[in-house]
Amino acid sequence: MHTEIAGRSEQALALITEALDLAEHTGDRWYEAELHHLRGELLISEGNREGAEACFRKALAIARHQAARLLELRAASSLARLWREQRKRDAARDLLAPIYGWFTEGFDTPVLKEAKALLDEL
């Protein structure tokens, strides 16, 4: 990885960690799932698939607990993409399909379009 990009990734991870610490301290957790999701995406870019999977699973659990359907879909999509790369297509589809199925509108939004395209691949 290029040094400048690696430095930015480290800085981004530090900021996400700081935001998660702040959420823990203040109890304001409304965006906690997305912070874990973003951390997972950064870890993927660094090649840390195991760490990314843990972050996506955490984001998914938090979003489910908060009934934050869109954040749950984002985390599930990222986890499903990772599983697709690991040749776990059935597990990816089984995870993503029911979450995508909850939505009855907004199908022209980027998040739902990406999830649909991924489901079509699976």
Chain centroid, CA 64 distance in Å: 13
We report the CATH number of the domain holding residue 90 as: 1.25.40.10
Does this model's pTM top 0.75? My answer is yes
* Contact of 38 with 16, CB cutoff 8 Å: yes
User: In 29-49, which positions are buried (b, 16+ CB within 10 angstroms) versus exposed (e)?
Assistant: eebbbbbbbbbbbbbbeeeee
Chain segment 59-105, per-residue pLDDT in tens: 999 999 999 999 999 999 999 999 999 999 999 999 999 999 999 99
> Could you give the CA distance from residue 21 to residue 48 in angstroms, rounded to a whole number?
22
Total structural domains within the chain: 1
Query: What residues make up the domain containing 44?
Result: 3-121
